[in-house]
Every structure is written in structure tokens, then in C-alpha cells.
Amino acid sequence: AFLDLTGPSEITGVWKGPTTLPCIYVPVKGFVQQMLTWTVVRGQSSGTVFRRDGSGDHILLSEYRDRVSVLKDNPGNVSLHILSLEVSDRGTYTCQVTWSGSNNSLTAREITTKVEVVKVAATKPIIRAGELGLTVPAGASTSLTCVASGSPPISYRWFRSTPGGKALLLSSQAELAWDSLQPSDAGEYYCEAENR
């Protein structure tokens, strides 16, 4: 259709990664782009992220400074490029273009794109092994700590192996602690880490 903007209604970007919000039109002979604005509504706040007019390019929201741009000399492509996506960037973005035609008539079009930000692909927890074969004097206090890397939140469980292979759940914390060790506490303990 005549001077229509096209772009997706929704985009999901990865936190800290580069993201493009497409906004494209087919240039029409005799119509000159006068102004381009990218505005955003985030929760209760809204504002102009980027404006291109006769005086040049302007980034009006300080939190987008040095992070956003629109290609130059690429007629019809007014997509917004975000260098590094922040979680606070999630919101609804509007691309609005105004053209002047013959006898100075103005034509304006806009499209909106919802932006969602995801942290990162989920990763399984990997447990960093503690010291094996720990020997501690009776009566002393000690603790075993489970440390895992992966997508938060991570939950921990400590078990004790018993003869016959049954496992006893001892703790749902990352740390398993003893105030005063008894000889009966000797044995094998293992940790389990779990996330989504």
C-alpha cells in the first residue's frame, strides 16, 4: 500500500545483545521524509528515544545515548538499532514517519512493536566439587558448601548415602553444617543442585 510502514508487532531480544526494531517503507517519488521519531512506553513512563529531522539525529532519552542508531542513506529503512539491550528497555515502541508531498501536504504513518527482553538461554547447573575425603576431629564444627553455576534461581539439597543405597535428605540449603561432629557422622555426603 501507499507509504505504509512494515515491521513485526513483537520482538524478543537477548539481554546485553544487539537488537533491531524493524520499520520499513517503500519510498514514493515526490514524497520526502521530513521526520522520523521512535517513541517508547515503558510501564508508567514514556518518551522519545530517537528523532531524525532537518537538523539531524537526536537521542532524547539519556538512557539510550550511545546505544541506539538508525541507518543513514538507506531510503525506506528507518529501523532502530539498539547496541546493547537492557532489561529496562522492555516496552512498546512506536515508529512514526512524516513525509511532505506536492503542495507541502504532510502524510504521517506509524507502527508499534512490543519489545520483550530475555536474560539468556537457560543453562543447567554445574557443581564445583568440594574437597573429597575430608577428615575432621570429633567435637569440631565444620560445614560442606555446595556451589553451582547456571541460570538462577538454583536450589540445593544435601544427602547422606546410607548402606543399602537409601539416601537421607539432610538439608535444603547450599550449606550443610555441624556444631559438634560425632564419629557417627562419618560417611559419604552428596549435593544436588536444581534450576528450571
Task: Tell whether the model's pLDDT for residue 132 goes beyond 70.
Answer: yes
Q: How confident is the model at residue 14 (pLDDT cuts 50, 70, 90)?
A: confident
Express each pLDDT in 163-192 by its tens digit: 787 888 999 998 999 999 999 998 889 999
**Same domain? 114 vs 151:** no
Task: Tell whether the model's pLDDT for residue 120 goes beyond 90.
Answer: no
Bigger pLDDT: 149 vs 190: 190
Helices (runs of H) and strands (runs of E) counted in the chain: 0, 16
How far is Cα 146 from Cα 191, in angstroms, rounded to an integer?
Answer: 6
Give the mean pLDDT of the chain: 90
Instruction: Report CA Rg, the chain.
Output: 29
Task: Tell whether the model's pLDDT for residue 135 goes beyond 90.
Answer: no
Q: Check residue 2 and give its pLDDT.
A: 79
Task: Tell whether the model's pLDDT for residue 121 goes beyond 70.
Answer: no
**Same domain? 67 vs 11:** yes
Q: pTM for this one?
A: 0.62
Show the domain range for 181.
Answer: 126-195
Last residue of a domain, one of 100, 118, 136: 118
Cβ atoms < 10 Å from Cβ of 102 = 7
How far is Cα 94 from Cα 160, in angstroms, rounded to an integer?
Answer: 57
Query: Of 11-20, 61-70, 149-158, where does the model show the most confidence?
Result: 61-70
Structural domain count, the chain: 2
**Same domain? 165 vs 108:** no
**Same domain? 11 vs 63:** yes
Q: Check residue 1 and give its pLDDT.
A: 59
| Residue 69, CB-side half-sphere exposure with 13 Å CA sphere | 9
**Same domain? 35 vs 92:** yes
Q: Check residue 145 and give its pLDDT.
A: 87
**Same domain? 132 vs 77:** no
Share of the chain above pLDDT 90, in %: 62
Place of cell 544487539: 18
Mean pLDDT (whole number) for 9-37:
93
Q: What is the CATH number of the domain that holds 101?
A: 2.60.40.10
